[in-house]
Structure 1
Amino acid sequence: MINSTQVLYFTLSAYFDTGLLKYLYFTITISLYMFIVGANVLLIVVICTNRSLHEPMYLFLCSLFVNELYGSTGLIPFLLVQIISDIHTVSAPFCFVQVYCVHTYGGIEYINLAVMSYDRYLAICHPLQYHSHMTYNKIATLIAFTWLYPLLLGLTMAYLRSSLQLCGVIINKVYCDSHSIVKLACYDTKSIYIYSLFLIFCGVVVPLTVIFFTYFKILKVCFNGSKQTRQKFVSTCSPHIASILHLTLLNVVELTQNRSETNNAPTMLRLVFSLYFLTCPPIFNPLMYGLNLSKIRVTCNILISNRRNNSEQLSM
């Protein structure tokens, strides 16, 4: 029995020897990461530099894109190192940092989506009072809450995991997460699971409840409203609904995988799913919002065409 503070490293057993194919996996993963960084940074720059996009919906979107960069940068570079390496170990301090990153990323994502649904609720259900309700001070408060609340909850979770008495150092995944650390504990962890359920309730169930309530109100107004109201719902809310459904489906599958016996699952399947879990949300959201919201799409096209014209003029 050892305290987690005495553990020097953990071994990630989900990796396997792929021979020369590891360079192919590395190339695919780094290409995905470069696309994630490029797409999210582009949309952040577009929103920040264009004053016509300094509206609540786009500012909340900017916060969402910053979170995609935070989550992907906290996880994917480590994955790249592990893919190319022959020794799949991670230092204990970095492992707990990764646990913190995984959970705070998910918490920020859900709360950000809940705040965006509240914004759409005000815009569609109370359009005349929208600007008096959604002031810049309120926007700043909501964005600050979106980040500070999960970050503080994550500190508590990371501290509890780091104080566990461990009877092993082998993690059957390609990255560190909370459930994998708890499974290594030497004693009954029922109290830890209860507190984890409380954190899941605060970070996932409460935001989802806000989302369901606001969309119930929105749909009620849309069905009884005009054609213009329904068009506004489809144009601004469909990417948001797609993001919520996609993120929830991913987390349900991840939770099911954690709670079931995964040692008999094919190693390739675990690796592919982990790669999908780490890279798909940061790719999905910028594509979904960038392609569906006309204001962002038009501004991106103008920005890209202006840069192209400038480069052509410099080359002449």
Structure 2
Amino acid sequence: MDNVSLITLFVLSGFNETKDFQIVLFILTLLCYCFIVLVNVCLIVTIMLDKNLHEPMYILLCTFCMNGLYGTAGFYPKFLWDLLSPVHVISYSGCLVQALVMYSFACSDLSILAVMAYDRYVAICRPLEYHSVMSKQRVLKLACFSWLIPFCMMAINIYLTSRLKLCSPFIAKLFCVNWIIVKLACFPADTFVNNIVAYITIIIYIFHGVFIVWSYMFLIKTCMNSLENRAKFMQTCVPHLTSLLTFLSTLVFDVMNMRLGRTALPQNLQNVISIEFLVIPPIMNPLIYGFKLNKIRNRILGIAIRRKY
């Protein structure tokens, strides 16, 4: 069958440069992953157990942290296993699943940030309508769609990739990436549909970014005219903006590395750049929100003080 790949295993050649310090990397990565799980679970449990935090902004934050756990679970366990393994391979189906998790995680993050931006826009610019527009039921639906739609879109991309016949098993990264798998297709391969669907996906999420930028530009313009709105913006919007800038900067570095710097940069530097979005945002986001949002900070500090005494 011409449309079925004969390759059953992929070799992750990005590990070739890690052989001399695998144990050190394993310890650091394990500590990093444990910390990511700890801070995200802490925030999720705090929001779920405290009824005073069952508000749109905190529900979306809870979804944000859950998505962080989902994305990192698709990378860290396999990465830790590979650091201790003499052979760095992944099955064909496992590679497609990992690519699906990585892409849907990144797209879901952007979707959730877009919903957060809309939530802040309604809260500050249309405060009298806030509770009717951002009801708990609507927020839960938006949170579900923010994960379900990216997952379905990425599943379509991965399905189209699975139909290609591949002629090389070598992936020059630490994990599976859909566009690299497509590049491994035998020549001449009909990747026209793959490219069209990929570009449609990219355009959709570019519009997400444009919407977020527009929302915050409007918010900043509105908040400049009111001291009360300025205080609201500093309290609730600055964490969102920080999360957005952190996420976009790590993602842009990775995309630039994949598209422009694969041969110009040393493999170790490529490895660092490629995993930034799996390290920095999942750690920074719960810390930023935990310290910046008073209700969450006070709740966590209250629990800590009660346990101490």
State the partner residue of 1:199. 201
Confirm or deny: 8 A CA contact 2:43 2:290 kept in the other structure. Answer: yes
1:307 pairs with 2:307: yes
Structure 1 outlier segments of 4+, above 6 Å: none
- CA change 1:9–1:80 in 2 (3 A) is same
> Deviations 1:32-91 (Å, cap 9, x if unpaired)?
000000000000001011111111000000000000000011111111111111101110
What CA distance in whole angstroms lies between the structure 2 residues aligned with 1:217 and 1:137?
26
Confirm or deny: 8 A CA contact 2:246 2:280 kept in the other structure. Answer: no
What CA distance in whole angstroms lies between the structure 1 residues aligned with 2:21 and 2:263?
23
State the partner residue of 1:151. 151
Q: For structure 1, which runs of at least 5 residues remain unmatched after alignment?
A: 310-316
Q: For structure 2, which runs of at least 5 residues remain unmatched after alignment?
A: none
> Deviations 1:125-167 (Å, cap 9, x if unpaired)?
0111111211122112111211111111111011011111211
What CA distance in whole angstroms lies between the structure 1 residues aligned with 2:278 and 2:87?
21
What CA distance in whole angstroms lies between the structure 1 residues aligned with 2:167 and 2:282?
35
What CA distance in whole angstroms lies between the structure 2 residues aligned with 1:267 and 1:261?
10
What CA distance in whole angstroms lies between the structure 2 residues aligned with 1:277 and 1:243?
11
Q: Which moved more, 1:98-107 or 1:189-198?
A: 189-198
What CA distance in whole angstroms lies between the structure 1 residues aligned with 2:18 and 2:101?
28
Confirm or deny: 8 A CA contact 1:2 1:166 kept in the other structure. Answer: no
What CA distance in whole angstroms lies between the structure 2 residues aligned with 1:223 and 1:105?
34
What CA distance in whole angstroms lies between the structure 2 residues aligned with 1:72 and 1:9?
22
1:34 pairs with 2:34: yes
State the partner residue of 1:288. 288
What CA distance in whole angstroms lies between the structure 2 residues aligned with 1:116 and 1:82?
36
State the partner residue of 1:240. 240
SS in 2 for 1:15: helix
State the partner residue of 1:61. 61
**Amino acid across the alignment from 1:16:** N
Confirm or deny: 8 A CA contact 2:10 2:171 kept in the other structure. Answer: yes
Seq. identity, %: 38
CA RMSD of aligned residues (A): 1.7
SS in 1 for 2:154: helix
State the partner residue of 1:223. 224
1:97 pairs with 2:97: yes
State the partner residue of 1:141. 141
**Amino acid across the alignment from 1:207:** H
1:189 pairs with 2:191: yes
Confirm or deny: 8 A CA contact 1:25 1:83 kept in the other structure. Answer: yes
SS in 2 for 1:200: helix
What CA distance in whole angstroms lies between the structure 2 residues aligned with 1:246 and 1:17?
27
> Deviations 1:215-257 (Å, cap 9, x if unpaired)?
1221121122x21110110111011011111111111111111
Q: TM-score, normalised by structure 2?
A: 0.94
1:3 Cα deviation (Å)? Answer: 4.7
**Amino acid across the alignment from 2:194:** I
SS in 2 for 1:90: strand
- CA change 1:180–1:38 in 2 (3 A) is same
